[in-house]
Structure 1
Amino acid sequence: MTNKLLFEDLKPNTRISKLKIKKVISIFKNKIDIVKINDGYYELEKENGLLKNDSIQIISVTKSLIKQYLLYHFLPYNKCFVRKHVSYKDIATLCGISVPTARRNQNLLSILGLAYFTPSSNGYGKFDIVICDEYKNHFKKKNGGGGYITLTTDDLANFLDINCINELKVELKKLLWIDAAKKSRGKKIVFNKENLVNTLPEYIKKSSKLINNIIYSKNSRFKPLGNRLDITNYKSKSEFNKNFRDSTQKRILNLFNNGNFSFSSNYSDTLLRFKFKKPLLETNIKLESEKTLIVNELVNLSIEFGFKKVLIALNYMFDNTYYEDNININNIHNPGGFVRSFITKSILNIGSLY
């Protein structure tokens, strides 16, 4: 089972292009596929490998490559959608694969035009990652967008635990159907089992037993039920975010309360003014309102960058406070802005997985 504690370095949810998922699903479905490499097209034969520059390069899409591609989307990025200073060891640990496999997968993702990387300026063996056309995910179709699906770290954990590439592809196909059905706005989207079967290679299609073993796999969260899928185990983005927000809000409040830390410079100043007398009701209301706004902003940053990064920034802020008459003095006027600035600078200078 995947260790979800590792996921605190990641964004809790992310957008992934539907077109790119369909591309990943369809690659190597046939005996011979056409793959664009640089400026030319080359025939790809699964048995013989990829013919390029009079040499044979063996190439195939494996379950680890698909998992690695999905993982890349969960890495926190800068404002230009660049994942900074990532190492093969980081990727290998998160995906549960070896470093050589992570390196090979990265090269293949670049060849297939799914993700590109450049050597990092920060440390030997590290690199920056750009996912192809990610910035277009929210564009309208006429502007080059192809739609996107939102995946959560719960989805990622499920994908990482699947050990059969065909089961993995079918599970992705099922999620695309569920997403379409959820967004149909009253229009009935009929589930067609044949669409899943078409995802499978020819040798599996010849056996009903093999087909059913994959489509009804015990590892699948969504079993076919007639003309629909059982989505009892499906959790929407809004449901996931609500649970994440509630748990993260409690963790952040505990951090402040357990250390008796002030929420901001204004919070500290107000407590100092009323240290010898009881604050007015109006003052208490204002303090609670400010506390709520600050905590909500920190929760939003946890969704954007991952809770661990918010925690590191808060610990840095706490280390630079002091106590006066048992009141914590915080000189930060806008903690949300401070934490955002701390995180973005850390990603730029240290990396997406600092």
Structure 2
Amino acid sequence: MSQQVGVEHGVVLPVRVDPRGIDGPTARETAGPWWRRTSRGLYVPAHVETSAAQRVAEVACLLPARHVAVTGWAALAWRGAPYAEGLDASGDPRPVPLAAPRRLLRPQPSFCLCEERCDPKEVERVDGVPVSTAVRATCFEMRYARDLETAVAVLDMAYLSDLVTPAEVAAWVGTHASYTGIEQARQCLPLARENAWSPRETLLRLLWQRHRPDAVLLANAPVFDLEGRHLGTPDVIDPATGVLGEYDGVLHLEGSRRARDLRREGDFRAHGLEPVVMVGSDARDPRHVVGRLHEAYVRAAQRPASVRGWTLSQPPWWRDTSTVALRRALEGAERDIWLARGRRTDTG
């Protein structure tokens, strides 16, 4: 693999043992605490962080010149997708998934090889690493996700990074009907949203949808007062009732952030909306947040339509960024302004 791997990502490439200790560690040094083995015969300094990109680079150094590509979460991470950290449910690193038509590498703990049909046209070189196209990598991760909820979050986050569109994903799923896990990927299509901003928001929305299957839930739809002032952009909202949901992670517990959240919640209520907050413990035991949702719907049903002081109609000065296509169309300063305004990636 070329030494040009990962220049844009700032990764540290593994080196082999060097008896002189010039181009790599000596055999004696590798036995000490200053070097970490990445694979058979290759090492990096022990202080190098094992980030997603670093793990991809360490595996990329093992790839033959042709026929093997990084795919799944690792390809998405290499392309810059947020939340593609490659961790399992317990927080431990997952192997880097590789796609190849047959077994071309000896197994190692750092990667897992998936042998399935692969069109060479679906491989691209990004910063020196052969990776599956964004749509194939997304569908791979959806197909092999541990459950449907996780698969939907994968698709939501691929949309967030503007790597794929719904049409592209639907077309790939539709033309690969015999692939492992394709039914799970197909089930994701109507459940995913192009404007979700974190996997926890996906969790909230899917939980809500299970208990209110008839509700049409919007992700990060901006809410305005009747004079066109932006009240806020809730994680999830039911536009028919004004019940909205927010996922509050640990960052929301900080003093100044919590104070802003409380003022925002009060502003929502003052305009006839019904906020419901989900916190981390609700993911383990959702009964409490489901109860809060039920109570919010009861209060919303008792509120006369005449006191509704909010709208989802966007004023002329607002720029809609709710779809991948609309975001891709933004350029230059306009992109910086509206995507900074429109997206949060610190909600977990």
Report if TM-score (shorter chain) is over 0.5.
Answer: no
The higher radius of gyration belongs to: 1
- With normalisation by structure 1, the TM-score equals 0.26
- With normalisation by structure 2, the TM-score equals 0.27
Instruction: Considering fraction of residues, name the structure with more helix.
Output: 1
